[in-house]
Amino acid sequence: MSIQETDVVETTKKPATRKSISLTAGAGEKLIRLTILARRTRGDGGETLVTTMDAKKKTARGMTAKFDTFEEALAELKKLEQDAVQKGWKKSARAGGFKAKPDAFSSMPVAPKPGAR
């Protein structure tokens, strides 16, 4: 009888390099998307920036701020989100994922008659 040794592989989780929040306002041709982004810069620094995109895909960037740590940038991201929600921006619902097609029939279909071509 022998004892098998198993190799234990330790995985280190990579630190997050960015986090973003998308908010919307308006509808149809007046729809505007506001994206608040916090990203890690070289070292442990961080920065936040806010971009808007209108229905015609025209973007504008502003409110850039740099921080000593990425955690400070994440805290600022939360503050900016709260400020935007207070000013009327709404969190966008997640789109995507699996959506099943509706059923083609709801009862057992009749079998075709053999020989009828």
Where helices occur in 1-110 by DSSP H, the ranges are: 70-86
Share of the chain above pLDDT 70, in %: 85
Mean pLDDT confidence for 48-63: 90
pLDDT (tens digit, 9 = 90+) per residue, 67-80?
999 999 999 999 99
Q: How many other C-beta atoms can be found within 10 angstroms of the C-beta atom of residue 46? A: 25
- What is the pTM assigned to this prediction? 0.66
pLDDT band at 2 (very low <50, low <70, confident <90, very high): low
Considering the domain boundaries, does residue 23 fall inside one?
Answer: yes
Considering the domain boundaries, does residue 69 fall inside one?
Answer: yes
Domain containing 30 equals 18-89
Task: Tell me how far apart the alpha carbons of residues 79 and 35 are, in angstroms, rounded to a whole number.
Answer: 14
Domains in the chain: how many in total?
Answer: 1
Task: Tell me how far apart the alpha carbons of residues 34 and 77 are, in angstroms, rounded to a whole number.
Answer: 13
Considering the domain boundaries, does residue 45 fall inside one?
Answer: yes
Considering the domain boundaries, does residue 38 fall inside one?
Answer: yes
